[in-house]
Amino acid sequence: MIHPIVKYGDEVLARQSARITEFDGELQKLIEDMFESMYAAHGVGLAAPQIGISKRIAVIDVTFKENPAQKMVLINPEIIHKEGHQRSNEGCLSLPEFREKVTRPNRVTVRAQDIHGKTFEHTGEELLARAFLHETDHLNGKLFISHISALKRDLIKRKIRKLAKAGEW
């Protein structure tokens, strides 16, 4: 089932999501829905709060369907190592149309649980490293605009307020 994407301004995006403790069929169904919703929205990553569910789950496919082996599910993820720097444009399905240059570590290791509750670690670079950080941020109530200058952030917020007033957000 495709869920609508929650946009910036919704309180669920600013909240700490709850840890997953039950690795059951319901969770599997939710993860399927998350991939479906992410692809429908043309995204390469999606965190559960973005479909209004305040739980620590993220799905990632930086190849966007090109390589099914690259599909990743992160449950209760934690960033355990980061190094280096990369700077490139970043966007978010919850902030459609807004992209900004964001500096992030270039090599990141995440520790998470899989769909069966098994703990694993995975190291990613460049876009994958960025996705690990971006999606884990979501689960902590943080958006990529918290990593840009206050000036740019205020500009985006002002544009969104205008769009909201016009009923376009």
Residues that bind Zn ion (CB under 5 A): 92
Q: Give the Å distances, CA to CA, from 150 to 146, 147, 162.
A: 8, 9, 18
CB of 117 to Zn ion, least distance (A): 25
- Concerning whether 135 is annotated as a catalytic residue, the answer is yes
Q: How far is the CB of 134 from Zn ion (least distance, A)?
A: 6
Tell me which residue has its CB nearest to Zn ion. 92
- Residue 22 CB, nearest approach to Zn ion (Å): 25
If the CB atoms of residues 117 and 141 are measured against Zn ion, the closer one turns out to be 141
Q: Please check whether residue 111 is in contact with residue 75, taking contact to mean a CB–CB distance below 8 angstroms.
A: no
For Zn ion, which is the closer residue by CB, 20 or 46? 46
CB nearer to Zn ion: give 92 or 129.
92
Q: Residues 32, 36, 97, 135: which is the catalytic one?
A: 135
Q: Concatenated DSSP letters for 77-144?
A: EEEEEEES-EEEEE--TTSTT--EEEEE-SEEEEEEE-TTS-EEEEEEEHHHHHHHHHHHHHHTT--G
d(CA 140, CA 103): 19
Active site residues: 135
